[in-house]
Chain A
Amino acid sequence: MNNIPLTIKETQEGLKSKKFSAVELVDSYLAQIKKHNDEYNIFLTVTEELAYEKAKEIDQLGDFSNPLSGVVTSYKDIFLTKDVRTTAGSKILDSYIPQYSGTVVKKIEQAGGIMIGKLNCDAFAHGASGENSDYGATLNPWNREYVTGGSSSGSAASVAANMSLISLGSDTGGSTRQPANFCNLVGLKPTYGAISRYGVIAMSSSLDTVGSLAHTVDDIEIMYDVLKGEDGLDGNVLNARRYTLNPRPKLGIAKEYFIDGLDSEVENMILDVKKTYEKMGIEVVEISLPHTKYMVPVYYIIQPAEVSSNLGRFDGIRYGNDRNSFGEEAKRRIMLGSYVLSAGYYDAYYEKAMKVRTKIIGDFDEAFKTVDAIISPISPTPPFKLGENTKDPLKMYLEDLYTTSANIAGIPSLALPSTFSKSGLPIGFQLMGPRFSEHQLIELGKKYHQEIDYKPKTAF
């Protein structure tokens, strides 16, 4: 197969019209993997046999009406897949074989998706570049000197490198949106409580969400509809009523976003986005999110605290390796977490952070009284080179400036590719909306891409 289709619609049309078979699709993706994976370090486990098995099944069935029929999917290695090695990007779970599959994995299976493998990521999802994986960094398919972004590094790279059509990542502080951004993909961080986390290795329980990455907003929409909903296993999931779209939506950009650290290329892109929406007749106003500068400190208290708790179970007694196998960043976060929860510091740090969190949610509630969605940068800079930020963990934490707010407030955010930087790397932005407003964001995203005549592209 020469041209692998880049959308679900094209894939299913091709299958229906017998232009190609599901098995041939798998052939093509596997060929890509065999060609480039060693160099770019994207997949940790390739499930060749399972993929062919499923593809044959689908070809035999001949009915491609299931929402994800024939769609080749890859999973960040924090999604538990029954009988298939799941490492969380960490040496701790080097040879861990789960005894059950998570809800979203099952949903995709049932919808006709074909799993092709498990993806590299920052160990236990700690990181904003992919450089914290215990298995080595994933390289950006657009330029191998650059990072893919993290922590769902492999998720973004696999789609950008045409090794799968869609992929699943997680988003706790930007981990789906940021790599989507660095790899020219559409990425969705859903509302906290829209998609079940059962079967996803937990990092920060009140911040974790299941993220999806694809080439187009249409595909993200299909994924979201397949994944969302109560499953009786994640008590925080709610079947929300479908969001009423505003026929005349209004957008906002927070004045607090324009700080010194914001790269001029990114700033210009944001201003272009504003103009594009205005050209469509959509008003874009200035809003204020007064607690923006506290996003990162709040995040770096709540997240490590919950992480230190969730990673306590990895003691090597019943499965996995012992705690000496934790990488540096994991150890750092666990230590920080224990510290902010410890007697004598709990009030000043953890409880304080939870209170500031309430104020941040208040900021968004207030903003959404006047606007339907907020335009924001994802990363303060275009993609950076490998090794640029690794010496200073604090510098890496500041990468999360724009992304953590959606996790803290529990609101959805859609990452949209916009343009390319001078050095040829992707730059994009995100649209944040009120809880359960995914379909509104999707509408706005589709409009934007239509207006700029966006065409999906892969790096190779």
Chain B
Amino acid sequence: MLYKTIIGLEIHIEPNTNSKMFCSCPQNHFGAKPNSQTCPICLGLPGALPIANKEAINKTIKLGLALGSDISKISKFYRKHYFYPDLPKSFQTSQKDNPFCIGGELMGKKINHIHLEEDAGKLIHQDGNSLIDFNRSGCALIEMVTEPVFHNVEEVISFTKELQLIARYLDISNADMEKGTMRLEANISLSTDHGLQSTAKLPDYKVELKNINSFKFLEKALIAEIERQTIALDNSEKLVQETRGYDENTKTTFSQRTKADSHDYRYFVEPDLAEIKLENSKFEILNSKLPELPEQKRKRFAEQYKISSDYINILVSDFDRANYFEVAVKLDPSLTKSIADLMINKQFDKKYAAASLVRKLKEITNVEYSSQSDLEEAIREVLYESPDIVTSYKNGKGQVIGFLIGQVQKKLGGKGNPNMVNLKLTEELTNKNF
């Protein structure tokens, strides 16, 4: 039986602030010695009191603005109570009603809200003991909750990747799954109702997939879980509301035995934190223009530079590389294509500064050699004139390129820049459909 997959996401992003959410300990805890970045506040010691980090709020608002959310006029922090050793106060300071950002959308997927909270410590299991490291306790954490509007794994992956990119473009976080600065939880259920309206009934259960720390595992875990649920439903088994993790060894998901549905968090407004009034005077971010976002950049590159959409996607997916490209092209717009080629095919941007790369290219193309246009013309002619050779090349006989090079040089009177001839010829052979 074919079921409709329904997935909602909860994505946590650790903002790259200097200090934690409610105290002045360092926010960046990657690689730090355990329990070396703590104070009475993030240790939840008796008598300690929180004060909110302005920049963490700024970054949260920035994300909301970029995704078209409504920014609440008044926002409050709440205490969310539960007992667990990595939660030192036995409550997490988070948000409930009045989160900072309400609604929003990315790639056509609706966002429910974005809120700000503090993280718990880290538990490490060793020799029958659990060890707690509180370096992460009290770190600022931005949480985005989407509506249950994903219906296949690809959508989830591309959404998450785009969100990661946006976080980097906005400079709010590195959003690195492996380092834990971006974490994802997926709520999955299968429905027999294939109705397209949003009023289609949601199933009476959902399974929460947690502790996934890479895109690769995310994909596998989702697929494994959808399969498990499909089989269960096919066998008329009742699926329960639960939390599951993914086991790479067995390539299946496993239950994490929680009382997932019996949590009464006893929320109330945190009296130690004054409410936040989001006014332009206090939060300049509300007034400022946002930096260019990835989708905007892609559109602009397509208009401004004559390079393929594949190339554009690769460049835009890395904020620094896209910048490098633009700096280089500005130095010599006529070399646009070559710059893109060298960056993407030969990673030249890893070795050379933009100005150096351009200089090198100029050397290749200018000094005593045939012009770029003559060279390209010659290559086109040779390829056109030697279809059999091209076919041989395409069938795996790489060595025939030598013959083609010779032909090109003949046409150019030997004045072709060898490197450029090689490069261009290879490009034409692999890119064109002959």
A198 with B49: in contact, given A309-B81, A312-B89, A313-B90 (CB under 8 Å)?
Answer: yes
Q: Does A39 contact B (CB under 8 A)?
A: no
Q: Does A263 contact B (CB under 8 A)?
A: no
A341 with B268: in contact, given A198-B47, A198-B49 (CB under 8 Å)?
Answer: yes
Q: Whole-angstrom distance between the alpha carbons of A314 and B45 in the complex?
A: 9
B90 and A201 form a contact (CB under 8 A): no
Q: Whole-angstrom distance between the alpha carbons of A202 and B274 in the complex?
A: 17
CB distance from B262 to the nearest CB of A (A): 10
Q: Does B50 contact A (CB under 8 A)?
A: yes
A338 and B49 form a contact (CB under 8 A): no
| Inter-chain contacts of A350 with B (CB < 8 A) | 268
B44 and A205 form a contact (CB under 8 A): no
| Inter-chain contacts of A305 with B (CB < 8 A) | 268
Interface residues of A in 290-340 (CB under 8 A from B): 305-306, 308-309, 312-315, 317-318, 338
Interface residues of B in 24-63 (CB under 8 A from A): 40, 43-52
B88 and A197 form a contact (CB under 8 A): no
Q: Does A234 contact B (CB under 8 A)?
A: yes
Kindly name the residue among B44, B81, B268 whose own CB sees the greatest number of chain A CB atoms within 10 A: B268
Mostly, the B contact residues are: loop
Q: Whole-angstrom distance between the alpha carbons of A315 and B83 in the complex?
A: 9
B47 and A202 form a contact (CB under 8 A): yes
CB distance from A235 to the nearest CB of B (A): 5
Q: Does A454 contact B (CB under 8 A)?
A: no
| Inter-chain contacts of B264 with A (CB < 8 A) | 342-343
B48 and A309 form a contact (CB under 8 A): no
B48 and A205 form a contact (CB under 8 A): no
A201 with B47: in contact, given A305-B268, A309-B268, A350-B268 (CB under 8 Å)?
Answer: yes
Q: Mark B71-94, 1 if CB is under 8 A from A, else 0.
A: 000000001010101001111000
CB distance from A333 to the nearest CB of B (A): 15
B271 and A306 form a contact (CB under 8 A): yes
Interface residues of A in 191-208 (CB under 8 A from B): 197-202, 205-206
A236 with B272: in contact, given A200-B47, A312-B90 (CB under 8 Å)?
Answer: yes
Q: Which of B48, B88, B91, B274 meets A198, CB within 8 Å? A: B48
A202 and B40 form a contact (CB under 8 A): no
Q: Does B273 contact A (CB under 8 A)?
A: yes
Q: Whole-angstrom distance between the alpha carbons of A236 and B49 in the complex?
A: 10
Kindly name the residue among A102, A206, A305, A312 whose own CB sees the greatest number of chain B CB atoms within 10 A: A312
Interface residues of A in 342-369 (CB under 8 A from B): 342-343, 346, 350
Q: Which of A235, A236, A309 meets B79, CB within 8 Å? A: A309
Q: Which of A197, A202, A235, A312 meets B51, CB within 8 Å? A: A235
A235 and B274 form a contact (CB under 8 A): yes
Chain B residue nearest to A311 (CB atoms) is B90
CB distance from A69 to the nearest CB of B (A): 26
CB distance from B43 to the nearest CB of A (A): 8
Q: Whole-angstrom distance between the alpha carbons of A199 and B47 in the complex?
A: 4
Q: Which of A102, A306, A308, A346 meets B47, CB within 8 Å? A: A102
Q: Whole-angstrom distance between the alpha carbons of A199 and B48 in the complex?
A: 6
Q: Mark A58-73, 1 if CB is under 8 A from B, else 0.
A: 0000000000000000
A197 with B40: in contact, given A205-B272, A206-B271 (CB under 8 Å)?
Answer: no
B271 and A197 form a contact (CB under 8 A): no
Interface residues of B in 85-136 (CB under 8 A from A): 85, 88-91
Q: Whole-angstrom distance between the alpha carbons of A61 and B11 in the complex?
A: 60
| Inter-chain contacts of A199 with B (CB < 8 A) | 47-48
| Inter-chain contacts of A222 with B (CB < 8 A) | none
Chain A residue nearest to B270 (CB atoms) is A205
B90 and A233 form a contact (CB under 8 A): no
Q: Mark B217-229, 1 if CB is under 8 A from A, else 0.
A: 0000000000000
B91 and A312 form a contact (CB under 8 A): yes
Q: Which of B40, B45, B79, B266 meets A342, CB within 8 Å? A: B266
B268 and A201 form a contact (CB under 8 A): no
Interface residues of A in 426-454 (CB under 8 A from B): none
Q: Whole-angstrom distance between the alpha carbons of A314 and B48 in the complex?
A: 14
Chain A residue nearest to B22 (CB atoms) is A235
CB distance from A361 to the nearest CB of B (A): 14
Kindly name the residue among B46, B267, B271 whose own CB sees the greatest number of chain A CB atoms within 10 A: B46
Q: Which of B44, B49, B266, B267 meets A313, CB within 8 Å? A: B44
B81 and A235 form a contact (CB under 8 A): no
Q: Which of A98, A201, A338 meets B266, CB within 8 Å? A: A338
Q: Which of A200, A235, A343 meets B50, CB within 8 Å? A: A235
Q: Which of B49, B91, B273 meets A309, CB within 8 Å? A: B91
Q: Whole-angstrom distance between the alpha carbons of A234 and B272 in the complex?
A: 8
Q: Does A258 contact B (CB under 8 A)?
A: no
Q: Which of B45, B81, B268, B274 meets A236, CB within 8 Å? A: B274
Q: Whole-angstrom distance between the alpha carbons of A313 and B79 in the complex?
A: 13
Q: Which of A235, A314, A315, A341 meets B272, CB within 8 Å? A: A235
CB distance from A202 to the nearest CB of B (A): 7
A235 and B49 form a contact (CB under 8 A): yes
Q: Whole-angstrom distance between the alpha carbons of A337 and B40 in the complex?
A: 25
A313 and B46 form a contact (CB under 8 A): yes
B85 and A317 form a contact (CB under 8 A): yes
Q: Which of B47, B81, B91 meets A80, CB within 8 Å? A: B47
CB distance from A350 to the nearest CB of B (A): 6
A313 with B85: in contact, given A199-B47, A202-B46, A205-B271 (CB under 8 Å)?
Answer: no
Q: Does A2 contact B (CB under 8 A)?
A: no
Chain A residue nearest to B41 (CB atoms) is A233
Chain A residue nearest to B263 (CB atoms) is A343
Q: Whole-angstrom distance between the alpha carbons of A343 and B267 in the complex?
A: 9
Binding site for A on B (CB under 8 A): 40, 43-52, 79, 81, 83, 85, 88-91, 264, 266-268, 271-274
**Can you name 13 A-B pairs with beta carbons within 8 Å?**
A99-B40, A199-B48, A234-B272, A235-B49, A235-B50, A235-B52, A235-B272, A309-B91, A309-B266, A313-B44, A313-B89, A342-B266, A343-B264
11 additional A-B residue pairs with CB within 8 Å, beyond A235-B52, A343-B266: A102-B47, A198-B49, A233-B51, A236-B271, A309-B266, A312-B91, A314-B46, A317-B85, A341-B267, A342-B264, A346-B266
Identify the 9 closest CB pairs spanning chains A and B, nearest first.
A312-B90, A206-B271, A341-B266, A205-B271, A201-B46, A199-B47, A235-B51, A80-B47, A343-B264
